[in-house]
Amino acid sequence: MPEFFDVGDVGFGEDGDLSYRVYEPDRLVLGKRMEDQLRIAVCYWHSFNWPGSDVFGMGTFDRPWLEPTATDPMAAARQKMDAAFEFFSKLGVPFFCFHDVDIAPAGATFSDSARNLDDMVTYAEKKMAETGKRVLWGTANLFSHPRYAAGAATNPDPDVFAYAAAQVKHALEATHRLGGANYVLWGGREGYETLLNTDLRREAQQLARFLHLVAEHKHKIGFEGTLLIEPKPAEPTKHQYDYDCQSVHGFLERFDLVDEYRVNIEANHATLAGHSFHHEVAYSVSNGIFGSIDANRGDYQNGWDTDQFPNSVDELCLVLYEILRGGGFTTGGFNFDTKLRRQSLDRNDLFHGHVGGIDTLARALLVAAELVERETIAVPLNRRYAGWENGVGAGILSGAETLDSLEARVMAGEIDPRPVSGRQELLENRVNRVIWSSR
C-alpha cells in the first residue's frame, strides 16, 4: 500500500521536530497511564476532508487522497481512510472521531448513502483491527446539506426532522458497530437567523423530542457509550439553542433528559460564548454533566471559530485540573477538533500541529496532577467555604433556619460578618509556581 506521509512514527524524547517531548503514553499520572488520562483522538473532518479552503478562497493543502483522480467515490473514500489510519498510527494516539459524511460519500438516495456508510464501516473495522485504533465518538452531519438550512430537529418541516432522525439512527448504529465510546450531537443549524420566521416554543419541543428518540434508540440497540451534546453559541447559525453548558444543562433538566446526555465541550466554542474554557469545564464537572472535550483554541483578536491547535499550558492546566478533580474521563477524551492555518500547506504540518498540541496537553496534565497532589487550589477553597459545614451555614442549607430566625440572630448582634480577602493574586502566584516548577 502506498504511504501518504514521508515520515516515520513520531518518536518519544528524541531530538527533532517530530518527537514528543512530554507525552509519554505509559508514564503514570495520578495512578493512571498518561494515554488513559488524556484519551487523545484525531478528528477526521479537518484533518482529512478539508482541503484548506475558506469563504474567500479555494483549497491550498497538499492532500493527494482528496485529488479527484478516482472516479469511484467509494475507492476515493477508502484511499482517504488509508491516509487517515496511516496518520493515526504514525502519530501514536489511540482514538479518532468522525461524521458519517467524512468517511462515506453521499449516494443518490438515502438508501445508497446508508449502504455506502455500512461498507465504509466494514472497511474501518478492518483498519481498526490492523492498527488497534478505536473510535472516541461518531456523529451525523446535520448541517452541510441544503435540506438542513433551517435546522434538522428544529426545522419547520417535519419531513426534515424525519430525514435527520433516519440519518442519526444510521450514524449511531455505525458508531455502535465500531465500538465507539460516545456519540455526539452538535446542533450547528439548531437555532435561528431571525425571530420573524421562528417559533421558539415549537422548536424547543421538537429538539427535546429528537433527543428522546435518540436516547430510546441507544437503549434499544444496546449502545453503551455516552450521548454528548456539543454546545456552541453561534456559527453557522446566528443564534444556536445549545448556547453553552449552562443552557444545555437547563434544557436537559427541563425536558427530563439529564440522565441521558452529557456535554462535549469545545475550547473555542466556550470563548465564543463569552466564557473561558476553564469556566465551561468547571461548570459541567460541578454539575455532573461533564463528558468529553474538543481540544482547540480561538484567536483573541477575532470573533469566529478558528479551531487552532492548543498551545497554552497556562490555560489548559486549569482545565485539566477540573477534569482530574471530577475523577478524570470516563468515556470521554481529548478530540483534536483542530484546523491547520490555510498557509500550512505541507502534508506533514498535520503532524506538527498534533505533536505540539498533544505535548501541550501532556504538560498541562502534569501541572494539573501537581495542583491536585499539593492541594494548591483545594485547601484555600475549602477553607473559604468552611462556614457552611456547621453552625448557621449548615442550618441554612438543611432548612433549619428561616428568614425569621436569621433576622433574630442578626438583630441580636450574634451575626455581624466581616469581609475577607479573596486573595486572587496570591492564588495566581501559587498556581504559576506549580507551572514553573512542574516536571
Please list the active-site residues: 99, 102
Pairing verdict, β 191-192 and 182-186:
unpaired
- Here's the x/- map for ligand XUL, 196-235, by CB under 6 A: it reads as ----------------------------------x-x---
E strands, 231-344, are: 239-240, 261-266, 290-295, 334-336
DSSP secondary structure string for all residues of 316-332: HHHHHHHHHHTT--SS-
Name the grid cell of 349. 504540518
Residue 210 in contact with residue 161, Cβ under 8 Å? yes
Contact between 35 and ligand XUL per CB under 6 A: no
- Euclidean distance between CA atoms 74 and 199, whole angstroms: 41
Shortest separation between residue 264's beta carbon and ligand XUL, angstroms: 7
Helix (H, G, I), strand (E, B) or coil at 99: strand
What is the smallest separation between the CB atom of 264 and Co ion, expressed in angstroms? 7
Least distance in angstroms from the C-beta of 272 to Co ion:
12
Given the complex with ligand XUL, which of 123 and 143 has the nearer CB atom? 143
CA–CA dist 358, 339 (Å, integer): 14
Among Co ion, ligand XUL, none, residue 305 binds (CB under 5-8 Å by kind): ligand XUL
266 forms part of the interface with Co ion (CB under 5 A): yes
CB of 184 to ligand XUL, least distance (A): 6
| Closer to ligand XUL by Cβ: residue 190 or 266 | 266
- Dihedral (Cα; 367, 373, 378, 379), 10-degree rounding: -130
Question: Site mask, ligand XUL, residues 283-302, x = CB under 6 A?
Answer: -----------x--------
- The one-letter code for the residue type at 308 is Q
- By CB under 6 A, the residues from 126 to 155 that bind ligand XUL are 139
Smallest distance from Co ion to CB 294, Å: 4
Q: Which does 232 bind (CB under 5 to 8 A by kind): Co ion, ligand XUL, none?
A: ligand XUL
Determine the Cα–Cα distance for residues 304 and 302; give it in Å rounded to an integer.
6
**Minimum separation from the CB atom of position 337 to Co ion (A):** 4
Our CA angle for 194, 195, 201, nearest 5°, is 135
Grid-cell match 504540518, residue found: 349
The string of DSSP codes covering 378-414 is: HHHHHHHTGGGGSHHHHHHHHT---HHHHHHHHHTTS
CB of 177 to ligand XUL, least distance (A): 19
Q: Do the strands 334-336 and 40-43 form a parallel or antiparallel pair, or are they unpaired?
A: parallel
Helix and strand totals (H; E) in the chain: 16, 14
Name the binder of 35 from Co ion, ligand XUL, none, CB < 5-8 A by kind: none
Among 100, 305, 322, 370, binds ligand XUL (CB under 6 A): 305
Which span sits near ligand XUL by CB under 6 A: 61-69, 116-124, 184-192, 424-432? 184-192
Return the half-sphere exposure (C-beta side, CA atoms, 13 A cut-off) of residue 279: 12
Q: Which is nearer to ligand XUL, 106 or 392 (CB)?
A: 106
Instruction: State in angstroms the smallest separation of the CB of 88 from Co ion.
Output: 18
Q: Which residue, 100 or 266, has its beta carbon nearer to Co ion? A: 266
- The one of ligand XUL, Co ion, none whose footprint includes residue 272, by CB under 5 to 8 A per kind, is none
The residue from 266, 322, 359, 370 that contacts ligand XUL (CB under 6 A) is 266
173 makes contact, choosing from Co ion, ligand XUL, none, with CB < 5 to 8 Å by partner type, with none
Q: How far is CA 223 from CA 14, 60, 200, 218, 392, in A?
A: 41, 39, 32, 5, 47
The answer to whether residue 100 forms part of the interface with ligand XUL (CB under 6 A) is no
Could you tell me if 132 and 65 are in contact, meaning their C-beta atoms sit under 8 angstroms apart?
no
Which residue's entry shows cell 495520578?
30
From 4, 186, 241, 321, residue interacting with ligand XUL (rule: CB under 6 A) = 186
Binding residues vs Co ion (CB under 5 A) = 266, 294, 337
Binding residues vs ligand XUL (CB under 6 A) = 99, 139, 184, 186, 188, 230, 232, 266, 294, 305, 337
